């Protein structure tokens, strides 16, 4: 587009860039068009901008990464196009040839920049949430938080689970022992749960003592570090907080607990080393693993 004249090729490529944000096939058409014009550099760039299409086929974290790359590159192209279009508009104004086409030229490029930037941010946030929700991501986030809160600038990597101690991973029980011994409050669902677990503890002969709490800390550490007690395949779960979807992996484990008055099957659900739920079913000893605390 020289001065106020219309470069239909340039306008067409810009329109396809814009359409490519919502329909990835437009980037492929753009790449072919550039190639036919002999502009192989832009043909290659447009082909790379079609990465979101590949990302949709691949799926998962890799697919999201491809979408982020593709939309980010489109954003960069649109930003450059907006700058150049603004320069052409200024030149046309100085030459007295400014027209509605200059406004359209700047507007299309600016719109493409805004939409592609938004798309890159959206896909990037999804990717970040997925990574943060993974076991490794949770450990990294915990490490960063611990480092920021530690005035000495030192982090206990073993306590965070970033490295394994000689005794294996350390179970993060949170307040689950309070639930187990009937000390949890909150809504009726939580009260019913904690009463049910307390009844099982009484049936097995476990009172709420410091000694028994230390016993169960060791017990759940043993459960966590015994890979043979995993039941089924770990499943990905999610929850939404402040409009952001958080993903995590749930692993189900079954073990056997022997008390003073009998035994019970213990079914636990874990997110990495974090204990999520406990279910204790009294019954006689069966195929489930024995965990002996020495």
pLDDT at res. 181:
92
182 and 258 co-located in one domain: yes
pLDDT tens column, 99-114? 887 887 788 778 878 8
Please choose, from the candidates 121, 127, 119, the residue with its C-alpha nearest in 3D space to the C-alpha of residue 21: 119
Rounded CA-CA distance 166/158 in Å is 10
**H or E segment at 32?**
helix 25-36
Q: pLDDT confidence of 288, banded at 50, 70, 90?
A: very low
Is 289 within the bounds of a domain?
Answer: no
- pLDDT given for residue 149 in this prediction: 47
**64 belongs to a structural domain:** yes
Model confidence at 286, in pLDDT bands (50, 70, 90)?
A: very low
pLDDT greater at residue 98 or residue 21: 98
Whether residues 15 and 99 fall in one domain = yes
Q: What is the pLDDT of residues 176-186, one digit of tens each?
A: 999 899 888 78
Give one DSSP letter per residue of 40-93, joined into a string.
Answer: HHHHHHHHHHTHHHHHHHH-HHHHHHHHHHHHHHHHHHHHHHHHHHHHHHHHHH
Average pLDDT, the chain: 76
The per-residue pLDDT for range 208-261, each reduced to its tens digit, is 999 999 999 999 999 999 888 999 888 888 777 777 777 888 999 999 999 888
Q: Which residue has the higher pLDDT, 135 or 252?
A: 252
Distance, in Å, from the CA atom of 264 to the CA atom of 18, rounded to the nearest integer, reads 62
* 120 and 226 belong to one structural domain: no
Query: Are residue 12 and residue 120 in the same domain, yes or no?
Result: yes
Collect all residues with Cβ–Cβ distance below 8 Å to 128 and sequence separation of at least 6.
Answer: none
Residue 263: inside a domain: yes
Show the domain range for 237.
Answer: 165-282
Among 112, 133, 154, the domain-final residue is: 133
- Does any domain span residue 36? yes
Q: Is the pLDDT of residue 157 over 50?
A: no
- pLDDT at position 53, please? 63
Q: 150 by DSSP, 3-state: which? A: coil
Indicate if 12 and 125 belong to the same structural domain. Answer: yes
Q: What's the confidence (pLDDT) of residue 215?
A: 93
**Confidence class for position 20, pLDDT limits 50, 70, 90:** low
Say whether pLDDT at 37 is over 60.
Answer: yes
Q: Which residue has the higher pLDDT, 172 or 30?
A: 172
46, burial (CB in 10 Å: exposed 0-12, middle 13-18, buried 19+)? buried
Q: In the prediction, which pLDDT does 270 show?
A: 93
> How much is the CA Rg of the chain, to the nearest whole Å?
30
In this model, does residue 137 exceed pLDDT 80?
no
Structurally, the chain folds into a number of domains equal to 2
Q: What is the pLDDT of residue 22?
A: 63
| pLDDT per position as a tens digit, 141-154 | 655 655 554 444 44
Residue 153 lies in a domain: no
Instruction: Tell me, yes or no, whether 12 and 129 share the same domain.
Output: yes
Taking every pair of C-alpha atoms in the chain, what is the biggest distance, in angstroms? 97
What pLDDT shows up at residue 39? 77
Convert 4-29 to b/e letters by CB count within 10 Å (16 or more is b).
Answer: beeeeeeeebbebbbbbbeebebbbb
Q: Which residues pair with 159 in a beta bridge?
A: none
- Please name which of 24, 23, 1 lies closest in space to residue 12, comparing C-alpha atoms: 1
The side-by-side arrangement of strands in the sheet containing 274-282 is 230-241, 244-258, 263-271, 274-282
Mean pLDDT (whole number) for 106-132: 79
Which has the minimum average pLDDT: 53-67, 157-171, 264-278? 157-171
Q: Is residue 44 over pLDDT 80?
A: no
**pLDDT of amino acid 287:** 36
Opening angle at CA 102, ends 99 and 106, nearest 5: 155
Q: How many other CB atoms are found less than 10 A from the CB of residue 250?
A: 14
Let me know if residue 258 belongs to a domain. Answer: yes
* Residues 77, 31 within the same domain: yes
- Is residue 152 domain-resident? no
Helix (H, G, I), strand (E, B) or coil at 2: coil
Instruction: Indicate if 127 and 169 belong to the same structural domain.
Output: no
Shared domain for 113 and 208, answered yes or no, is no
The CA-to-CA distance between both ends of the chain, in Å, stands at 82
């Amino acid at each position: 587009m020289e001065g106020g004249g219309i470069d239909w090729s340039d306008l067409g490529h810009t329109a396809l860039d814009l359409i490519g944000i919502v329909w990835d096939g437009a980037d492929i058409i753009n790449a072919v068009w550039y190639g036919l014009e002999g502009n192989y550099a832009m043909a290659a760039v447009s082909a790379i901008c079609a990465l979101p299409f590949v990302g949709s086929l691949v799926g998962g974290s890799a697919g999201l990464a491809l979408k982020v790359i593709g939309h980010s590159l489109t954003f960069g192209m649109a930003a450059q196009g907006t700058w150049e279009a603004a320069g052409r508009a200024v030149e046309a104004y100085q030459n007295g040839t400014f027209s509605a086409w200059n406004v359209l030229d700047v507007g299309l490029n600016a719109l493409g920049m805004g939409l592609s930037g938004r798309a890159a941010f959206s896909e990037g946030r999804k990717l970040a949430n997925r990574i943060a929700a993974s076991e490794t991501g949770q450990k990294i986030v915990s490490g960063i938080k611990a480092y920021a809160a530690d005035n000495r600038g030192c982090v206990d990597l073993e306590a965070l689970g970033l490295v394994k101690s000689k005794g294996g991973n350390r179970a993060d029980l949170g307040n689950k022992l309070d639930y187990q011994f009937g000390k949890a409050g909150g809504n009726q669902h939580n009260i019913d749960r904690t009463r049910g677990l307390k009844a099982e503890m009484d049936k097995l002969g476990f009172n709420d003592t410091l000694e028994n709490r230390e016993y169960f800390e060791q017990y759940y550490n043993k459960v966590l570090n015994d890979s043979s007690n995993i039941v089924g395949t770990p499943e990905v779960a999610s929850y939404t907080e402040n409009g952001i979807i958080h993903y995590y992996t749930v692993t189900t484990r079954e073990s056997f607990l022997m008390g003073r008055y009998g035994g019970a099957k213990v079914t636990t659900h874990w997110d990495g080393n974090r204990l999520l739920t406990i279910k204790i079913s009294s019954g006689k000893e069966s195929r489930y693993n024995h965990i002996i605390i020495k």
